[in-house]
Amino acid sequence: MTDGLPPELRRESDTAPGGLSVEDLSFSYGARQALDGVSFACRPGRFTALLGPNGAGKSTLFALLTRLFTTPHGRIRIAGADLARSPRKALANMGIVFQQPTLDLDLTVRRNLSYFAALHGIPGRAAAARIDASLERLGMAERAGERVRDLNGGHRRRTELARALVHSPSVLLCDEPTVGLDAASRQAIVDHVHELAAGGLTVLWATHLTDEVRAEDDLLVLHRGRLLRDGTAAEISAGSTVSETFLDLTRAPA
Ligand code: ADP
């Protein structure tokens, strides 16, 4: 493996074009270490679930991936671009859906997306085509003219997903995006994002809900800042369920 190499030489080729890789990432809040030497890679066309109980370090990891926080300890590459050295290039390839909704409730679905497209410098005509395509992918085309305030929670989340894809990123980060949704809406969002991954997108999906993970998904189990498992869900939970495996892993001292 590459572990003996100095950081600048490590796993350069491990990031598939359009993928995401994290190498030896650590972060502390004062004396509290929230992430401790975390390394993994997410591949295009794969739904990668990041499963961890509360306090595992998922939000901290997402804050680092989105450059809300920075750290000198470790490296993040997005679609081949180093996040610390080429942040604009790296972030241009990333779509993000945060835990907390960030839509403007008083604007229509379309206006929310066109505002976002304008922020990304996408010219009007190209923006209109991308917005149409993005809403179509999420089954939201017929609701384009509705005010977000009038949508149910599931449709609001789908609008956020559509918005996150307007600039055609190759990597989609979802930070517990089903929080607060009813079971049917949750299932629909999980299905949609699996379809997006099947279409070639690199998806990293943070959750503490094991029923959002399918056997064929890639699975990362994070606990107390450390990555405990990295493989397909079927491999990791061999002979058991994802739920039982997760409980066993995270009940034990890290
Ligand atoms: P998760 O998102 O998986 O629940 P977090 O990334 O929020 O985990 O938290 C990881 C660890 O860092 C926890 O021990 C948490 O208490 C701690 N932590 C998170 N945010 C802060 C903060 N702002 N100050 C101090 N400690 C924090």
Q: pLDDT for 187-209, tens place per residue?
A: 999 999 999 999 999 999 999 99
- Kindly give the parts of the chain with pLDDT less than 50: 1-14
Can you give the pLDDT at residue 239?
84
How are beta strands 32-42 and 20-29 bridged, if at all?
antiparallel
Ligand 1 — pocket residues by CB below 6 A?
29, 32, 34, 52, 54-60
How high is the pLDDT of residue 252? 61
Are 73 and 220 in contact, with CB atoms under 8 Å apart? Answer: no
Q: Which of 50, 51, 58, 60 to mutate to test the pocket of ligand 1 (most atoms within 8 A of CB)?
A: 60
Instruction: Please report the pLDDT score of residue 179 as a whole number.
Output: 87
pLDDT at residue 17, rounded to an integer: 74
- Contact 174/196 with Cβ under 8 angstroms? no
What global pTM score does this model have?
0.91
| Neighbour-count burial of 203, counting CB atoms closer than 10 A to its CB (0-12 exposed, 13-18 middle, 19+ buried) | buried
pLDDT, residue 250, reads 92
Q: What residue owns the CA closest to ligand 1's atom 7? A: 59
